[in-house]
Amino acid sequence: MSGQVPLVDYLVLGSDPHLIAHECTSCGARFFDRRNACANCENDEFTDVDIPTTGELRAFTIVSMAAPGIEVPFVASVVDCDGTSVRGNIINTPPDPDHVKLGMKVKLATYKVGTDDQGTEAIGFGFEPI
């Protein structure tokens, strides 16, 4: 099978790539990973919600030492997408403090992570300056 798969299951590909979260139907807490029950209120029902694709850079680091196979330097960050915090890299801009600033506005962008032996492309996401 050729085609594309998302790097993680909370990235929705297509014409309008975006992230989804599992939102607790009781308290509204949001999780990107599979949950047995809500860490905040113990409810075990969730509904998927779309996460805004733009946000504000709330924290970042420029990683120069990483596990083998990870290209450095890269910018790891936390982006506040209208009240939902998202972990992701800052991409499509030089990885230095002159180009990456706390509080700057960013938007979701996708890129090819790799291709498997079936010809399937894995698509990852990051955030780029607006």
- 55 strand-pairing partners: 106
Out of 2, 15, 98, 117, name the contact with another protein by CB under 8 A.
117
> How many CA atoms lie less than 13 Å away from 95 in the CB half-sphere?
15
Query: Can you spell out the DSSP letters for 90-115?
Result: E-SS-SSTTT--TT-EEEEEEEEEEE
Considering beta carbons, is residue 106 or 125 the nearer one to another protein? 125
Of 43, 84, 93, 110, the one binding another protein by CB under 8 A: 84
Q: Indicate whether 8 belongs to the interface with another protein (CB under 8 A).
A: yes
- Whether omega before 73 lies within 30 degrees of 0, making that bond cis, reads yes
Q: Which of 13, 26, 62, 128 is close enough to bind another protein by CB under 8 A?
A: 62
Site for another protein in 29-58 (CB under 8 A): 29-35, 39-40, 58
Cβ–Cβ under 8 Å, residues 101 and 79:
no
Which tokens belong to 119? 């010809």
Cα–Cα distance between 21 and 46 in angstroms, integer?
9
List 17, 74, 93, 107, residue binding another protein (CB under 8 A): 74
- The residues that touch another protein, with contacts defined as CB under 8 A, are 5-10, 29-35, 39-40, 58-67, 69-71, 73-74, 76-78, 83-89, 97, 102-103, 113-114, 116-118, 120, 122, 124-125
